[in-house]
Structure 1
């Protein structure tokens, strides 16, 4: 095939059909054509399609998004212009991944979704500014090692089913989004963090050293609370007392109606908070009790905004596991 004189900015092919060999050849021809046309953005979602090796040596590519593909990288890639890489449910082994990522010297955005590495050392370029790890099994020490080698990392997104400890120490991090499905211990040492959005359960332990953080979004996965558990919730919220603005999402209003005996023996956990939006994912039946409890919890808030968005318990758990239902409110 002759090299075309045309220039293609972006090419996207998305399908979930399994193809016969003759159709696969046609896809190969399309991919070959756009690569020779110096395509800058390539987005392929083809189940079990095997990406041609020459794609990973395309110096014109600035964005590459691969979904549901088979990917083998037997030698070092040379994606010298690539800045954004998405890998979603891609079948790739550790060596191939390392060969791929090591050939991306100026990468700035890396999004990994739906696969598990072994003991791989994620040796990403120090140019990385945005890292997203979704539905991956990783441990705290591995994550700490990765972050420590990213001196200009500004945004981190973490969705995990199994992590029980999260320790994030970064001087460059400005935005952090994490959603974890079980009780966790979280330690944040992020002096330049300005945006935090996270989901967890109220029996988690959180320690935050982020002097520039003024607002956050929090989703609690608890569907109900026993009286004996409210003291723990107070301690949990007290760790967020540095905040001035918060959006708090819960399934049931009951989770936030602190019993009077709990209020008597505890100080208000969010005494510095000035603006509060509370989203309840069931119908409100005890609004006056909820308002009274919120005014105790955050006494500097003149009028908390209460929003009822009815969702099923499974829908809220789905949220906490990493699928956003709403968007964070900026005042």
Structure 2
């Protein structure tokens, strides 16, 4: 009876009191405490309207491996969050029970989530993201149960005050793609299995060179990349104050897809990139109009084309070819330097309803 009166009294007073910023629990958990923790969590979320909730039941790894409470984990009632205004959730060493209707929960207030020592399946991760449409930060530490992450796509994420660094530490990662992603700092800690690397920034302007450069510099930590897709802003990196070290090479790269023009700056950038790829076999070039001026090419690079060491490619494919003087000159350079061993494939730009069959230039002779 007293409990009911207390709950009623709290409901009367709650509108006159601001919500709390943080509700935190940290102690040695045992199953017999489950009922109490459930009650505390519900009160923190629904009555106190906490903005942050921290539950930490991890003491020390050696302790949990030797003590009888090793298998005692709190089963966090995720469905309770739908009745609150939680913005940040931090859980350490709990079991996570997600409602079957997770996708329809619509936890719009939840923007940050940190999970440590939590068992998660791939479906759990998908459900978490689908149920939290405004989630900006998701950090997983010492979690298990998931199939090892092999493909990562980051799309349409730009600098934010609360999230300006991205750190990738995925030993099994095979493919990574950055679509219009811009952070102050990118870190790729360890990716020995990474073989596919893609960068695309469509908001092309002078300001976009810097985020593009920050992403591309991750290649220093990914020496085993075999397939690379990016824009040809390589001349900017070539002339930057912090270029790649002279020892940097992409020895394993065999397939390159490049969005480019064929101006002097673009050709110098392309030649500089090819010099880093001694074993490249196939290159696909797609014309793109950057709508920005290249700027003045430094004098030391203006006549550098003949000095670069280019690989001998099996095939070069040119997409969106319209026969401009720059494009014709580029084909002439390929022939002059004997860059292509087998063939050049040219796909003309489609005009109206009319399309053209690819033009294949076979067996380009190598000239000394």
TM-score (norm 2): 0.46
Structure that is richer in helix per residue: 2
Computing the radius of gyration from Cα coordinates, the structure with the larger value is: 2
Structure number with higher relative contact order (C-alpha < 8 Å, ≥ 6 residues apart): 1
